[in-house]
């Protein structure tokens, strides 16, 4: 079965239902999708499913395939922006390169901070060993990395945190949370434990382009029980 998605006027292009259900925002210059957890943005050397499998269906009459403007970890769900034209790719890419993209993440963490808000300023570098592979770590010789955070809710042994990265280092939020003593739930690499999936959502994105681009993604199914325990509601008040 296919679903029609309207773009740029009366013309309609058919998308497979599974992909159409993931389109958060569609306009002539950009698409924002709700990337599912477990889907890599780029196909790795070992192959397997990736966002690249979605690009041809998402072309929808454009000359060029849409391309992601930024990256999300394979295990992170939520807002991913794709440019639909070469000028759009350049303009959207500049927003990220110049630090003008406003990114908001939700995480459920083990334990939680004593305070209700704060700022993490901890440089990160990549380390690798033959036995364990690569990972990121806080190190004074690493690249600058800054994350603003605030607590949105709490439950016994858990906290629901809003994270706003001012920089875009690999695994930044995962490492900053772990280094602060409250690793993200379901993160086996940085101390959040295995099982249940990584509880990290790219909740919202805002880009100061013309016209401005802004949208948000719903929590994935695997995060909902923990969020509900921390005070999130399926139907916001008002």
- Residue 14 is predicted with a pLDDT of 67
The tens digit of pLDDT for each residue in 137-193 reads: 999 999 999 999 999 999 999 999 999 999 999 999 999 999 999 999 999 999 999
| 28 among known catalytic residues | no
pLDDT at 85 over 90: yes
Phi, psi dihedral angles at 221 (to 5 degrees): -55, -40
Selecting among 73, 116, 121, 187, the annotated active-site residue is: 73
Q: Where are the domains of the chain?
A: 2-229
Q: What are the DSSP calls for 42-61, one per residue?
A: S-BTTB--BGGGGTTGGGTT
Tokens of 172: 């930044």
Mention the CATH class of domain 2-229: alpha beta
Name residues whose C-beta falls within 8 Å of residue 174's C-beta, 6 or more positions apart in sequence.
Answer: 73, 136, 183, 184, 187, 189, 190, 192, 198, 200
- State the average pLDDT over residues 20-45: 92
pTM for this entry: 0.90
């Amino acid at each position: 079965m296919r679903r029609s998605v309207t773009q740029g006027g009366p013309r309609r292009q058919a998308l497979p239902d599974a992909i159409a259900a993931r389109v958060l925002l569609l306009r002539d210059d950009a698409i924002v999708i709700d990337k599912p957890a477990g889907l890599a943005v780029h196909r790795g050397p070992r192959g397997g499913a990736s966002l690249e499998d979605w690009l041809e269906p998402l072309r929808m009459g454009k000359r060029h395939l849409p391309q992601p403007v930024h990256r999300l970890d394979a295990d992170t769900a939520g807002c991913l922006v794709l440019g639909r034209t070469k000028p759009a790719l350049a303009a959207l890419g500049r927003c990220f390169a110049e630090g003008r993209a406003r990114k908001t993440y939700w995480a459920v963490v083990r334990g939680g901070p004593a305070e209700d808000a704060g700022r993490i300023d901890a440089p990160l570098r990549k380390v690798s060993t033959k036995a364990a592979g690569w990972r990121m770590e806080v190190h004074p010789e690493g690249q600058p990395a800054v994350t603003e955070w605030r607590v949105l809710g709490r439950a016994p042994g858990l906290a629901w945190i809003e994270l706003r990265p001012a920089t875009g280092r690999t695994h930044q939020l995962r490492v900053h949370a772990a280094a602060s003593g409250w690793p993200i739930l379901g993160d086996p690499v940085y101390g959040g434990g295995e099982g249940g999936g990584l509880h990290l959502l790219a909740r919202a994105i805002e880009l100061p382009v013309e016209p401005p681009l802004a949208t948000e993604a719903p929590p994935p199914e695997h995060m909902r029980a923990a969020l509900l325990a921390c005070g999130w509601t399926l139907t916001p008040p008002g």
